[in-house]
Amino acid sequence: MSRRPPRFWLRPTRSIAARLLRPLSFIATTLTRRRLRQPTFQSSVPVLCCGNITTGGTGKTPLTLDLVQRLKDRGHHPHILSRGHGGRERGPVGVNPSRSTPRDVGDEPLLLAQAAPTWIGANRAETARLAISQGADCLVMDDGFQNPTLHQNVSVLVVDGATGFGNGCVLPAGPLREPLTDALARAQAVVVMGDDRHNLIPTFPPHLLTTQARLVPGPEIRTLQGRRIVAFAGIGRPEKFFDMLRDAGVAPIRALPFPDHHFYTPRDIQRLEALSRESGTTLVTTAKDAVKLPFPFRTQVKVIGVELLWADPKAPERLLDLLFSAA
């Protein structure tokens, strides 16, 4: 049900399959470098990018939401720029939380739009102009680290502490979107999500602002203590959500992974409804999945939000200070 990356991507040594695919990785690297040399639009307001270098979920969207809230707390008017992955709209277009649907704009933009005005479109320069015309005094990009259309004043690489950089190879030989050295040369900060199981932090260049954070469930998790739950999630790494529940003392009796950006079909809903009818069973999912569930089925599901717990509480404020000093 869940599309998992090839196992050899995550091995620390390069397998025969990875070595055979390296010529294709060289082509992908060449094309990415050529694309990144294109001219970029220089925004009149500061631009912060929360991006990554690997495929799959690393925690970019929770980081985006955390930093957007901090910008609002400082009195700013941030707007969010997203590609709108999975949606039919090509953009540039603003996301309307009351009228837009996940099939139109994608699941993540609909979730982000609950926090701040959100715009979708592959050309971030176009969406930046629209956002600024509507009062944005700073812009936060959810993904787009390899997108050259808009100059990024500060780029934050989000790294999954559990998987790290896998075998260190570029697609399709490994999980990297570009060579690690290229990415670190363009970034200004790195946030390692979760435990640093690969001891990555000491290897990052000293000029980078480097910190750690972990995803923790929102306060609504307390209502699930002692209950029988069935958890389901269609995110980059569903196991991260299931592990978060277990760490909070709420172990699912069933954990159903779906592909990232999955649109729930009538058959999926029927299956989930059947599980919910089991005696004393509560369905649990993520906020990103909840926006894709049909009403009234959505009201039968307990939605667990996630928050960031920073290892250094001052780190996100230093990151925002860096944004405005670099602008």
Q: What percent of the chain has pLDDT over 90?
A: 83
pLDDT in tens, 13-29: 889 999 999 999 999 99
Q: Which CATH architecture has domain 219-304?
A: 3-Layer(aba) Sandwich (3.40)
9 pLDDT above the threshold of 60: yes
Q: What is the mean pLDDT of residues 32-48?
A: 95
Cis peptide before 172 (omega within 30 of 0): yes
DSSP 181: H
DSSP 148: T
What confidence category does residue 1 fall into, taking pLDDT thresholds of 50, 70 and 90? very low
Residue 3's pLDDT is: 61
What confidence category does residue 87 fall into, taking pLDDT thresholds of 50, 70 and 90? confident
Cα(182)–Cα(83) distance, integer angstroms? 22
Considering the chain, what is the average pLDDT of its residues?
93
Q: What is the mean pLDDT of residues 23-50?
A: 96
Q: Where are the domains of the chain?
A: 36-214+309-326, 219-304
| Strands across the sheet containing 189-193 | 93-94, 118-120, 78-82, 138-142, 47-51, 154-160, 189-193, 209-217, 306-310
233 pLDDT above the threshold of 50: yes
Residue 326's pLDDT is: 82
CATH class of the domain whose range is 36-214+309-326: alpha beta
**CA 106 centroid distance within chain:** 13
pLDDT in tens, 238-259: 998 999 999 999 999 999 999 9
> Highest mean pLDDT range out of 8-22, 62-76, 235-249?
62-76
Residue 2's pLDDT is: 47
End-to-end CA distance of the chain: 44
How would you classify the pairing of strands 306-310 and 209-217?
Answer: antiparallel
pLDDT in tens, 263-320: 999 999 999 999 988 878 999 999 999 999 998 899 999 999 999 999 999 999 999 9
- Identical fold for domains 36-214+309-326 and 219-304, yes or no, is yes
Q: Please provide the size of the chain in residues.
A: 327
Residue 98's pLDDT is: 87
pLDDT in tens, 116-135: 999 999 999 999 999 999 99
pLDDT in tens, 158-193: 999 999 999 999 999 999 999 999 999 999 999 999
pLDDT in tens, 208-217: 999 999 999 9
Cα(57)–Cα(242) distance, integer angstroms? 14
